[in-house]
Amino acid sequence: MIDRPIVEKSTASGVRKASLLAQDPVRYMLRAILAGMYLSIVVFVYWSLGNDLHGSPWGKVLASAFFGVGLSMIVFSNTELFTSNNMYLAMSSAEGQTSWGQTAFLWTACYLGNLIGALIVAGLLYFAGSLALPADHLLHTGALHKAHQAGFVIFVKGILANWIVCLAVRLSMAMKEDMAKISIIIAVVFIFLYLGFEHSIANMGTFSMSVLGGGSLTAGDIAHNLLFSTLGNIVGGAVLVGLPVRYINPPADDDKPHK
């Protein structure tokens, strides 16, 4: 079956990640922190492009197209992103190569590492003077819009966001050339940005930068969004990508007709 190698590759990746976290947690956390940093700097460029090109009909297109650079940086730097790990660890646990307890622990550790990375970049931008933005800057208005949606809406948008992100990762794994991998990631990730879905790790960067930049978000606003977007991301990555891909591409022995 054409996708079985993808399942095996994803499973092996999930096992390596869980083993690294167990054996060398400092190295694992550094990888998670770096992923949060990479994505957050791209988040800032996204909001800056959207704001500066607000009057152009191509502004949202260009900003959304650029965002895939963040996921490409993470994929090619071998760092750890919570949302793509929703897919990897779901596959490895469904294959019986990691336990669901290991999966939950890794997701938690990776999430915290990504958050630390987002806070570091927000702090660096703040001290660089880059967050001295007007109140009507798209970073602030976008953050408020994200935080003030209904919980169920954020949850569903979170499902859609990570369904698309994990599809981008899964498709890139089928590519052999680096430029093909980058191209498919940027093209697919464009979908979730352009449609305004909710990515919990990207939102960490958005919210921390808006708060340090003088935005009017409250802690309750941030917690509201991150709770529902995180739960949605888990469903999108694990339930809509990881588990179905594994189920329709079982090991050869499982795929034999029963007598």
For the chain, the domains span: 4-251
Q: Please give the mean pLDDT across all residues of the chain.
A: 94
Nearest to 238 by CA among 74, 88, 61: 88
Residue 49 one-letter amino acid: L
Q: CA-CA distance, 114 to 139, in Å (whole number)? A: 20
Taking 70 as the threshold, does the pLDDT of residue 153 lie above it? yes
CATH top class, domain 4-251:
mainly alpha
Q: How many CA atoms lie within 13 A of 156 on its CB side?
A: 5
pLDDT digits (tens, 9 = 90+) for 72-131: 999 999 999 999 999 999 999 999 999 999 999 999 999 999 999 999 999 999 999 999
Is the Cβ–Cβ distance between 199 and 217 less than 8 Å?
A: no
Q: CA-CA distance, 231 to 239, in Å (whole number)? A: 11
Taking 90 as the threshold, does the pLDDT of residue 1 lie above it? no
Q: What is the mean pLDDT of residues 188-211?
A: 97
Taking 80 as the threshold, does the pLDDT of residue 256 lie above it? no
H helix runs in 128-239, sequence order? 138-147, 151-173, 178-194, 200-212, 219-234
Taking 80 as the threshold, does the pLDDT of residue 3 lie above it? no
Q: What is the DSSP letter of 254?
A: G
pLDDT of residue 255: 52
